[in-house]
Every structure is written in structure tokens, then in C-alpha cells.
């Protein structure tokens, strides 16, 4: 499990844009250690999304599509809004 968390942390902090690195990396730094197996899988699916889509969703410019909603996305939205 630690190897998975390390890989996800790297992906979260090396997105390609500084803004996405900070948001996704900040979330990962705060919550990654406590995520269970299914939540890690869900977080990995979120990391597969493009930076443009993620930033639009997380900043409220666009609604998150229904098929992309889930526990991790909801936590990411709450995290982003708390900043």
C-alpha cells in the first residue's frame, strides 16, 4: 500500500500546472495516508482527469459531471472550498 501512496503522491504533485500541483498535492498531503483501498483507486481515477477539467470543477467554473462524482471528488471539492 505504501508504494501505491507514494505513486499517487507523486502524481498529485507533478500534474503539469502549479495550480493543480498545489490543490491536488495539498489534498494528497493532508488525506492520502488515511484513504482505504477503494478510496485510493478512486483518487487514482481522479488523477487521470485532465488539469483543465479538474481545475474547472474544483474552482466551480463548471459542475462536476454526475459520472465523475464520488466520495473523493466531494472531499476534494470541500478541501478546495476551505482554502
Query: pLDDT tens across 2-52, in order?
Result: 999 999 999 999 998 999 999 999 999 999 999 999 999 999 999 999 999
Q: Which CATH class is domain 2-82?
A: mainly alpha
Split at pLDDT 50, 70, 90, the class of 1 is: low
Across 48-71, average pLDDT: 95
pTM exceeding 0.75: yes
Q: What share of the chain is helix, strand, coil (3-state, %, to 5)?
A: 75, 0, 25
How far apart, in whole angstroms, are the C-alpha atoms of residue 24 and residue 7?
13
Amino acid at each position: 500500500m505504501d508504494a501505491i501512496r507514494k505513486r499517487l503522491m507523486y502524481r498529485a504533485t507533478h500534474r503539469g500546472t502549479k495550480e493543480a500541483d498545489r490543490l491536488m498535492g495539498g489534498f494528497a498531503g493532508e488525506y492520502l495516508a488515511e484513504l482505504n483501498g477503494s478510496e485510493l483507486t478512486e483518487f487514482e481515477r481522479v488523477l487521470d482527469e485532465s488539469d483543465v477539467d479538474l481545475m474547472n470543477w474544483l474552482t466551480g467554473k463548471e459542475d462536476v459531471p454526475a459520472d465523475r462524482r464520488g466520495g473523493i471528488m466531494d472531499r476534494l471539492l470541500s478541501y478546495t472550498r476551505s482554502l
